[in-house]
Amino acid sequence: MPAVIEVSDLSKQYRVYRKHEGLVASIRNLFHREFTKVDAVKQVSFQIEEGEIVGFLGPNGAGKTTTLKLLSGLIYPTSGHATVLGHIPWKRENAYRRNFSLVMGQKNQLWWDIPAQESFRLHQAIYKIPDQEFERRLDELVSLLEVGKLIRQPVRELSLGERMRMELIASLLHNPRVLFLDEPTIGLDVVSQKRVQEFLKHYQQQEQITVVLTSHYMRDVESLCKRVIVINDGEIRHDGSLSEIVDRFSTHKVISLIFHNGDIPSDLQKYGKLLEADPPAVKLSVERDKVSNVLGSLLSRYQVDDLTVHERPLEDVFADLFDTHK
Ligand SMILES: Nc1ncnc2c1ncn2[C@@H]1O[C@H](COP(=O)(O)OP(=O)(O)OP(=O)(O)O)[C@@H](O)[C@H]1O
Ligand SMILES: [Mg+2]
C-alpha cells in the first residue's frame, strides 16, 4: 500500500517583484518589471504513513508553510510530485478536499462577526455532512475541547486560545483523514498550549488520523511527535526520531552539581564549560562521551551533595542545528 503522503523532489520557487524607489523608477517599473526568484522549497522528498504524527521543523523562512500549502493544493509546485491519500493536491479534487484539513494558527477560517456555531453549519453545508453525524461530531469535539457555551458567542469576542479551539473543531467536523497544522499553538499561553496538545494527542490516537505539524514550540513537538523532519533553507536536513536528532546534534550534556558546604573547586574548567556558578550550585557543559568519566572524577575528588545530568534544552539543540548547517 502506498504511503498516505508521498512527496518526491518537490520544489517551489516564488517570483518576487523587485521594486525600485522613486518616481522615474516607478514609471520604469510599469514597463519593465524585474523579478527575483526565491527558492522556498528545494527538491524535498519524504513519505508519511497512515496514523503517523510528524513534526515539521525549521527556522523562519525554511519552507514549512510553503510545503503545507503545496500539500493542501493552495499553490502549485514549480516541479516535483506529491500525492496525499492518492490525490495530487493541486488538482483540488472534491474527493481530496473532503479528506484533509489545513489549520493555520496565524489565519482565521471562522467568520469574525458570527458565532462559531454558525460557521460550523456552513462547514456542514460545504462538506455535505449528514445532520446526525454533524451533531454527533460537534458534541464530541465541543466536549473534548471544553468550549460549551462559547460556540454561541461571536468569534471576535473569544480569546486567542478559545478561537484556536474553535478553528480545530471547524477543521475536524468533516472527519478528515489527514490534518495539516501550521503553528496551531502560536501566541497561546502555556495552559492553552497544553490543552491543544492534549486534545490533539487524544484525538489522533482515537481516530488514527495522519498529522503533519509545524511549531516553534519544542513542547508541542516533544509531546506529540515521534518523528521529526527538519527543513532549513528549503532543504531537508534530517528525517528521523526526535531522540536521534538529540543524539546526532547535541554534542554535550549538562551536569548540575551541588557541592558540600558550597566549596566549589577552582579547577572545574578542565572537566567542561562552566555554564553557571551560584554557590553551592554549579552547571557544567560536558561532551557526551566524557560524561561518565567526568562524573567519576568529580565524585572521587570532591564532596558532592546532589547531582543531575540532563540533555541540553531542545531549543538549544535546534538553534545549533540551524546555525551550523546553513
Ligand atoms: N507568497 C510568497 N511570495 C514570495 N515569497 C514567498 C511567499 N511565501 C513565502 N515566501 C518565501 O519563501 C520562503 C519560505 O517561506 P515559508 O513561509 O514557507 O517559511 P516557513 O518555514 O513557514 O517560515 P516561518 O517559520 O517563519 O513561518 C521564505 O524565504 C519566504 O520569504
Ligand atoms: Mg510558516
H/E stretch holding 43: strand 34-48
Grid coordinates of 283: 552547571
Its sign, for the CA torsion 203, 205, 207, 208, is: positive
**Residues at Cβ < 5 Å from ligand 2 ion:** 65
Nearest partner of 309 among 247, 243, 248, 256, judged by Cα: 256
Give the Cα separation of 267 and 270 in Å (integer): 6
Grid coordinates of 32: 519593465
Best of 10, 35, 65, 185 for a ligand 1 pocket test (most atoms within 8 Å of beta carbon):
65
User: Do the domains at 5-247 and 251-324 have one common CATH topology?
Assistant: no
Per domain, the residue ranges of the chain are 5-247, 251-324
Give the Cα separation of 171 and 164 in Å (integer): 11
Fold of 251-324: Alpha-Beta Plaits (3.30.70)
What is the reported pTM?
A: 0.86
Residue 12 in contact with ligand 1 by CB distance below 6 A: no
How crowded is residue 316: how many other Cβ atoms within 10 Å of its Cβ? 15
* Ligand 2 centroid from CA 105, angstroms: 9
* Ligand 1 centroid from CA 41, angstroms: 9
Residue 178, SS3 per DSSP: strand
5-247 under CATH 3.40.1160.10, yes or no: no
Residue 39 in contact with ligand 1 by CB distance below 6 A: no
Could you read off the pLDDT tens digit of each residue along the chain, which spans 326 residues?
A: 679 999 999 999 999 877 767 777 777 777 777 778 999 999 999 999 999 999 999 999 999 999 999 999 999 999 999 999 999 999 999 999 999 999 999 888 888 899 999 999 999 999 999 999 999 999 999 999 999 889 999 999 999 999 999 999 999 999 999 999 999 999 999 999 999 999 999 999 999 999 999 998 888 998 999 999 999 999 999 999 988 888 777 788 999 999 998 888 888 899 999 998 898 999 999 998 999 999 999 999 999 999 999 888 888 888 777 775 44
Best of 19, 38, 220 for a ligand 1 pocket test (most atoms within 8 Å of beta carbon):
38
CB-based contacts of 317, cutoff 8 Å, min separation 6: 245, 246, 249, 250, 311
In sequence order, the β-bridge partners of residue 71 are: none
How crowded is residue 39: how many other Cβ atoms within 10 Å of its Cβ? 15
Residue 62 in contact with ligand 1 by CB distance below 6 A: yes
- What are the backbone angles phi and psi of residue 162, rounded to the nearest 5°? -65, -40
Protein residue whose Cα sits closest to atom 27 of ligand 1: 60
Q: What dihedral do alpha carbons 94, 100, 106, 108 form, nearest 10°?
A: 50
